[in-house]
């Protein structure tokens, strides 16, 4: 009887530590799951609050004022240009300077390498735009031959900036991999076709440069608008930046020609052309394109400022 009791106590003593270990393990697993759940919930709440805080009341007011005042001013400037009070050269130079200041501000504010590279491409874009305006004043054969080259360089700089901006803080999915992987091959095929579809006696280096500029603009639009991840992660910049090449392409299509010397400054730097029916719309909507580009930069600057405050 004593032996039986002793055996029972030994068995009980052996079982109890196992039960304790099992309970301890279950407790640790439960605590670990709770910790993971809490961290995930905290991360989700952090991301939600980060998204909401971008459009602060102050930023909404500033954004709305810039948009409304910008559109009103551009309407007045268009009317003054049509009345012959000034040429379009100074008006668009001011627009380019304002956009360039936005790129410089973004370069200073950001902590992201992708956005830094995008800002550098944006400053290069502004440089080529200014160079085109300076060369426009030189009415020489050399200046005429250089214009398509500068147009191509301007559109490529915009595309480079757009690619870097769209990659930053955006998850890359299978569609993005296919888009960026096939883009160089598609560009080569499209540019070659556009060049060789022109009659042999009309082919020139300017035709090739304009084909490159047109393809770069189309890609600038596709980089933003065909990627669902961008519409989910940053819909504001996606809409604003995507509208810029869309406006330029629509203006080119409405004129039934892609052989332009500059998409951003299509026949608007001098006085209104008497036979051109789209004088008013071209001048106004090209200003709107630059305004939307500046608003997109403002939105990215606000995001970078709020991100730095959070960190």
Say if CB 288 and CB 240 are below 8 A apart.
no
Quick one: tokens of 238?
């996606």
Q: One digit per residue, pLDDT tens: the chain, 311 residues?
A: 444 444 443 444 444 444 445 444 545 555 544 444 444 444 434 444 444 478 888 999 999 999 999 999 999 999 999 988 988 999 999 999 999 999 999 999 999 999 999 999 999 999 999 999 988 888 777 777 888 899 999 999 999 999 999 998 888 888 888 888 888 888 888 888 888 887 877 778 888 888 899 899 999 999 999 999 999 988 999 999 999 999 999 988 876 555 566 788 877 888 887 777 778 888 999 999 999 999 999 999 999 988 776 65
Quick one: tokens of 249?
């392409």
Q: Can you tell me whether residue 245 is helix, strand or coil? A: helix
Kindly report the CATH class assigned to 58-310. Answer: mainly alpha
d(Cα 156, Cα 267) in Å, to the nearest integer? Answer: 21
- Name the residue ranges covered by the structural domains of the chain: 1-46, 58-310
Other Cβ atoms less than 10 A from the Cβ of 226: the count is 13
Q: Which of 125, 134, 126, 135 is nearest to 159 (CA)?
A: 125
Q: Can you tell me whether residue 176 is helix, strand or coil? A: helix
User: What confidence score (pLDDT) does residue 2 get?
Assistant: 42
d(Cα 177, Cα 229) in Å, to the nearest integer? Answer: 12
């Amino acid at each position: 009887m004593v032996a039986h009791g002793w055996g029972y106590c030994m068995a009980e003593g052996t079982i109890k530590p196992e039960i304790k270990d099992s309970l301890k393990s279950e407790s640790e697993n439960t605590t670990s799951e709770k910790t993971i759940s809490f961290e995930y919930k905290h991360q989700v709440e952090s991301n939600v609050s980060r998204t909401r805080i971008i459009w602060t009341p102050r930023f909404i007011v500033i954004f709305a004022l810039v948009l409304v005042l910008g559109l009103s001013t551009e309407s007045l400037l268009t009317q003054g240009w049509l009345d012959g009070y000034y040429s379009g050269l100074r008006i668009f130079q001011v627009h380019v300077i304002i956009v360039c200041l936005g790129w410089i501000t973004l370069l200073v504010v950001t902590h992201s390498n992708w956005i830094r590279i995008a800002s550098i491409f944006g400053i290069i874009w502004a440089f080529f735009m200014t160079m085109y305006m300076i060369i426009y004043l030189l009415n020489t054969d050399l200046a005429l031959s250089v214009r398509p080259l500068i147009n191509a360089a301007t559109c490529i700089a915009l595309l480079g900036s757009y690619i870097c901006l769209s990659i930053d803080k955006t998850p890359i999915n299978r569609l993005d991999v296919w888009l960026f992987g096939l883009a160089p091959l598609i560009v080569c095929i499209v540019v070659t076709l556009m060049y060789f579809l022109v009659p042999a006696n009309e082919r020139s280096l300017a035709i090739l440069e304009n084909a490159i500029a047109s393809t770069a603009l189309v890609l600038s639009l596709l980089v933003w608008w065909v990627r669902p991840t961008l519409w989910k992660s940053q819909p504001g910049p996606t809409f604003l930046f995507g509208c810029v090449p869309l406006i330029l392409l629509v203006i080119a299509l409405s004129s039934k020609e892609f052989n332009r010397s500059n998409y951003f400054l299509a026949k608007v730097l001098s006085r209104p052309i008497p036979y051109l029916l789209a004088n008013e719309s071209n001048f106004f909507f090209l200003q709107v394109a630059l305004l939307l580009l500046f608003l997109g930069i403002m939105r990215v600057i606000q995001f970078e400022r709020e991100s730095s405050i959070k960190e």
